[in-house]
Amino acid sequence: NGAGLPGSAETQQASQSGWIHIAQLVNSAQLTTWRNQYSLGAGELSTILLAKEIQADVALIDERGARLLAQSEGVPVLGTVGLLELGYRSGEVTDLRLAYQTMLAEGAHINQQILNQSLASFNLPPV
């Protein structure tokens, strides 16, 4: 459904190379229960439930409420900023500041203060 959006071509390529696997929830009834219980979207809730089911090392979640729920369910979380920071440390992301500027230019909904705190931790100028 995200064809043409930023990152869609990269996601398609990763899926074809086997880096990304598509999986279905085993306990879809729990998703229904949670949708009635929590004011989060089906995507966030499905991510948390699937991460629990497959005992994922980490779930990639940015939304604060979803991160809190995941952590309360014992699911380790990492957000976009944390993922880009890991990439920067490993050399996969060569210009962290440019990555953040690009995200903002593409319309990412992220607090600029969080980005600037991240940049400051690497002694980089703010966006």
For residue range 7-31, what is the model confidence (pLDDT) as tens digits?
788 888 888 887 788 888 998 999 9
Contact 81, 114 (CB under 8 A): yes
* 45 compared with 1, residue with greater pLDDT: 45
| CA pair distance 79, 83, nearest whole angstrom | 6
In this structure, the number of other CB atoms found within 10 A of the CB of residue 51 comes to: 21
pLDDT, tens digit, 9 for 90 and up, residues 48-84? 999 999 999 999 999 999 999 999 999 999 999 999 9
Query: How many C-beta atoms lie closer than 10 Å to residue 115's C-beta?
Result: 23
Q: Write out pLDDT tens, residues 82-116.
A: 999 999 999 999 999 999 999 999 888 899 999 99
